[in-house]
């Protein structure tokens, strides 16, 4: 069986028992007796499970099985990579770009009228922020814009990679990049992408997406050209 290939007695137990999201697990001592490992070793294995996003543990609720989410392990591995060398962001950014283009057609046809209105609203809010006397960088809107387009995909691995990308984007402080002309151009593309989506022109929307993805490199916003981000805690 697959779980037997996992080098963790706790994870083997978790999967063999068929625990479902929301299920409460026995106490630490009970689990130690059931599984046949020491409490200390069990704590270590549970911490791995927690970092994988498979359980939650708290004094009040005890140990609870959570729904599978690919984001936690990808995020952890990616942040570790950036801590080793923050230039890894460029490689992951390329992966994200190819992924969005590859899944564009599949994702767009799943969008609801509510989703399309949400995308339009995000564009409006972002442009309002950019056109204020004191310009605000619409990072949250940027993140939500892209994730909204792909969120209805029934593929946790795609969603996990895309969510991890935006966490990394923030970690390397691209969310604070304040080239006003660049930001205006980004949101012009977003507005045109929404127009294409609402018009049912999937092909045009994808062409605009590809052009939009090229903005970071065309503006020279690359980890190879940015100064070392020691200020925000990512060592070289």
Domains, the chain, ordered by start? 2-65 (1.10.10.10), 71-232 (1.20.120.530)
pLDDT at res. 236: 34
pLDDT at 92 over 50: yes
**pLDDT tens digits, 139-197:** 999 999 999 999 999 999 999 999 999 999 998 887 776 678 888 999 999 999 999 99
Helix (H, G, I), strand (E, B), or coil: what is residue 229?
coil
pLDDT band of residue 216 (cuts 50, 70, 90) is: low
pLDDT at res. 145: 98
What is this structure's pTM?
Answer: 0.84
Q: Which of 18-32, 97-111, 203-217: highest mean pLDDT?
A: 97-111
Q: Which residues pair with 56 in a beta bridge?
A: 64
Mean pLDDT of 9-25: 91
Distance CA 39, CA 29 (A): 7
Q: Note whether 108 and 197 are within 8 A (CB).
A: yes
Distance CA 174, CA 186 (A): 13
Q: Report the range of poorest mean pLDDT among 26-30, 60-64, 150-154.
A: 60-64
CA atoms within 13 A on the CB side of 191: 12
pLDDT at res. 178: 62
pLDDT at 230 over 60: no
DSSP 18: T
Q: Note whether 107 and 153 are within 8 A (CB).
A: yes
- Tokens representing residue 215 in the block: 């903005």
pLDDT at res. 182: 85
Distance CA 207, CA 204 (A): 5
pLDDT band of residue 18 (cuts 50, 70, 90) is: confident
Q: Note whether 193 and 212 are within 8 A (CB).
A: yes
């Amino acid at each position: 069986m697959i779980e037997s290939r996992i080098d963790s007695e706790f994870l083997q137990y978790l999967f063999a028992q068929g625990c479902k999201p929301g299920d409460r697990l026995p106490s630490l001592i009970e689990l130690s007796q059931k599984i046949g490992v020491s409490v200390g070793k069990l704590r270590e294995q549970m911490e791995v499970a927690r970092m994988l996003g498979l359980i939650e543990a708290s004094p009040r609720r005890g140990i609870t099985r959570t729904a599978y989410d690919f984001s936690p392990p990808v995020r952890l591995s990616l942040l570790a990579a950036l801590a080793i060398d923050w230039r890894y962001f460029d490689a992951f950014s390329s992966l994200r770009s190819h992924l969005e283009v590859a899944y564009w057609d599949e994702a767009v046809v799943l969008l609801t009228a509510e989703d399309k209105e949400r995308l339009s609203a995000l564009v409006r809010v972002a442009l309002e922020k950019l056109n204020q006397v004191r310009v605000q960088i619409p990072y949250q809107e940027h993140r939500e814009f892209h994730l909204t387009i792909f969120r209805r995909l029934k593929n946790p691995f795609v969603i996990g990679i895309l969510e991890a990308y935006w966490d990394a984007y923030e970690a390397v402080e691209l969310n604070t990049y304040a080239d006003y002309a660049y930001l205006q151009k980004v949101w012009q593309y977003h507005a045109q992408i929404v127009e294409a989506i609402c018009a049912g022109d999937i092909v045009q929307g994808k062409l605009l997406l590809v052009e939009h993805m090229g903005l970071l490199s065309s503006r020279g916003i690359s980890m190879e050209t940015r100064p070392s981000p020691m200020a925000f805690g990512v060592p070289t």
